[in-house]
Amino acid sequence: MQETVKLIVGDQTIELPVIVGTEGERAIDITKLRDQTGMITYDPSLGNTGVCRSEITFIDGEKGILRYRGIPIEQFADHPNFVEVAWMLIFGRLPKPDELARFSSLLTANELLHEGLKHQFDHIPPDAPPMAILSATLNNLSFYHEQFLSPQDEESFELAAARLISKVRTIAAFSYRRSLGLPFIYPDPNLRYCANFLHMMFSIPFQQYIVTPEIEDALNLVFVLHADHEQNCSTSTVRTVGSARANLFASCAAGVCALWGPLHGGANVEVIDMLERIHQGGMSPEDCIRAAKDKSNPFRLFGFGHRVYKNYDPRAKLLKASCDKVLAKLRRQDPLLDIARKLEEAALNDPYFVERKLYPNVDFYSGILLRAMGIPTNMFTVCFAIGRLPGWIAQWREQHVDASTRILRPRQVYTGPAESPYVPMEDR
Under the binding rule (CB under 6 A), the answer on residue 361 touching ligand CMC is yes
Taking the complex as a whole, how short is the minimal distance between the CB of residue 253 and ligand CMC, in angstroms?
A: 18
Stretch that binds ligand CMC, among 243-251, 303-311, 326-334, 400-408 (CB under 6 A): 303-311
Say if residues 265 and 388 touch (Cβ distance below 8 Å): yes
Nearer to ligand CMC, 172 or 292 (CB): 292
For residue 166, the number of C-alpha atoms closer than 13 Å in the C-beta half-sphere is 24
Q: Note if 217 is an active site residue.
A: no
Strand-pair partners of 71:
68
Under the binding rule (CB under 6 A), the answer on residue 306 touching ligand CMC is yes
Q: Which of residues 245-284 bind ligand CMC (CB under 6 A)?
A: 263-265, 267
Give the number of residues in contact with ligand CMC, rule: CB under 6 A.
Answer: 19
Stretch that binds ligand CMC, among 15-23, 136-144, 170-178, 295-303 (CB under 6 A): 295-303
Among 229, 306, 313, 400, the one annotated catalytic: 306
Under the binding rule (CB under 6 A), the answer on residue 301 touching ligand CMC is yes
Phi and psi at 85, nearest 5°, equal -65, -40
Taking the complex as a whole, how short is the minimal distance between the CB of residue 257 and ligand CMC, in angstroms?
A: 13
Nearer to ligand CMC, 137 or 235 (CB): 235
Nearer to ligand CMC, 104 or 232 (CB): 232
Nearer to ligand CMC, 84 or 270 (CB): 270
Element holding 9 (H helix, E strand): strand 4-9
d(CA 111, CA 186): 9
Among 68, 304, 392, 396, binds ligand CMC (CB under 6 A): 304
Stretch that binds ligand CMC, among 83-91, 179-187, 246-254, 357-365 (CB under 6 A): 357-365
Q: Which of residues 200-219 bind ligand CMC (CB under 6 A)?
A: none
Q: Note if 306 is an active site residue.
A: yes
What DSSP line would sit under 285-317, residue for residue?
Answer: HHHHHHHHH-TTS----TTB--SS-SS--HHHH
Q: What character string, x for contact with ligand CMC (CB under 6 A) and - otherwise, covers 380-419?
A: ----------------------------------------
Q: Which of residues 33-72 bind ligand CMC (CB under 6 A)?
A: none
Taking the complex as a whole, how short is the minimal distance between the CB of residue 64 and ligand CMC, in angstroms?
A: 13
Residues 6+ apart with CB under 8 A from 88: 68, 69, 71, 94, 95
d(CA 166, CA 163): 5
Residues 6+ apart with CB under 8 A from 403: none
Alpha-carbon distances, residue 90 vs 56, 127, 172, 326, 402 (angstroms): 8, 34, 22, 30, 14
Q: What character string, x for contact with ligand CMC (CB under 6 A) and - otherwise, covers 219-248?
A: -------------x----------------
Nearer to ligand CMC, 17 or 261 (CB): 261
Nearer to ligand CMC, 199 or 315 (CB): 315
Residues 6+ apart with CB under 8 A from 281: none
| Residue facing ligand CMC at closest CB distance | 305
Q: Which of 139, 112, 396 is nearest to 249 (CA)?
A: 139
Alpha-carbon distances, residue 264 vs 67, 310, 376 (angstroms): 20, 17, 19
Taking the complex as a whole, how short is the minimal distance between the CB of residue 215 and ligand CMC, in angstroms?
A: 23
Taking the complex as a whole, how short is the minimal distance between the CB of residue 135 and ligand CMC, in angstroms?
A: 16
Q: Which of 267, 215, 265 is nearest to 372 (CA)?
A: 215
Alpha helices in 181-266 (DSSP H): 193-202, 213-226, 233-243, 248-260
Q: Which of 108, 70, 103 is nearest to 84 (CA)?
A: 103
Taking the complex as a whole, how short is the minimal distance between the CB of residue 202 and ligand CMC, in angstroms?
A: 26
Taking the complex as a whole, how short is the minimal distance between the CB of residue 347 and ligand CMC, in angstroms?
A: 8
Under the binding rule (CB under 6 A), the answer on residue 356 touching ligand CMC is yes
Residues 6+ apart with CB under 8 A from 380: 268, 269, 272, 366, 367, 370
Nearer to ligand CMC, 160 or 316 (CB): 316
Q: How far apart are the first and last CA of the chain?
A: 64
Catalytic residue positions? 306, 363
What are the residues binding ligand CMC (CB under 6 A)? 232, 263-265, 267, 292, 300-307, 356, 358, 361-363
